[in-house]
Chain A
């Protein structure tokens, strides 16, 4: 999406290492930030999300941090496993009329975990 930047575009780590993916957004009205994992030929699936009133959230090996002032948020995966290999997308909510919202996605990070 135009207002969500994501880095790096590719990331290769060894099994057991940590992986970090970073995103920035520009719309100050964004207040919901999910992360999706998409395996080849499959649909995007939510792995973790964070709202703007929270600075950090953790779910087992996955954590997300948010700096709302700087408009940065990051995904951290610890103890990576080969099955973590996939494309990861960050996203930011964009409000619209009728009290709804949509998501704008970053360009994606292709993560490869080698045994």
Chain B
């Protein structure tokens, strides 16, 4: 069982579609993350929200748009994606404070296929 819930588990979308990935945690964590993972590769950081503010954007193309409506929710809005964007998208959360670093808790991910 995971304490970070991601929906949907699988998503197939065309290059002209608009879709959203959703993530929710109820551990009281104040930092939430989006990572992208391609097959046989490590998770690659995309965005970090800390206290509901965007803290890191790792030069991610604008076709990916994050949103943090509140401290428990994190969305990733997708528009005009390319086939190479197909990957596992992992959401994670942590207590998020420098000097008190703690593990990132990952959700099960959304397996995205862009056709």
**A residues within 8 Å of B by Cβ?**
1, 31-32, 34, 42-46, 49, 51, 87, 89, 93, 95-108
* Given A43-B107, A103-B104; A97-B55 close (CB under 8 Å): yes
Q: Judging by beta carbons under 8 Å apart, are B51 and A98 in contact?
A: yes
With both beta carbons as reference points, the residue of chain A lying nearest to B90 in the complex is identified as A43
Q: Judging by beta carbons under 8 Å apart, are A98 and B55 in contact?
A: yes
* Assembled-state Cα–Cα distance A43/B41 (Å): 13
Kindly list 13 other residue pairs between chains A and B, CB separation below 8 angstroms, not including A43-B2, A100-B31, A100-B51.
A1-B44, A1-B45, A31-B101, A34-B104, A42-B108, A51-B101, A96-B56, A99-B98, A100-B48, A100-B50, A102-B33, A103-B45, A108-B40
Q: Does B109 contact A (CB under 8 A)?
A: yes
* Assembled-state Cα–Cα distance A107/B40 (Å): 9
Q: Does B97 contact A (CB under 8 A)?
A: yes
Q: Judging by beta carbons under 8 Å apart, are B98 and A100 in contact?
A: yes
For B97, the chain A residues whose CB sits under 8 A away are 99-100
Report 10 cross-chain contacts, Cβ distance below 8 Å, ordered by A residue.
Answer: A1-B42, A32-B102, A34-B103, A34-B104, A45-B106, A93-B101, A100-B97, A101-B101, A104-B45, A105-B44
For B51, the chain A residues whose CB sits under 8 A away are 98, 100
For A43, the chain B residues whose CB sits under 8 A away are 2, 90, 106-109
* Given A45-B106, A51-B101; A98-B42 close (CB under 8 Å): no
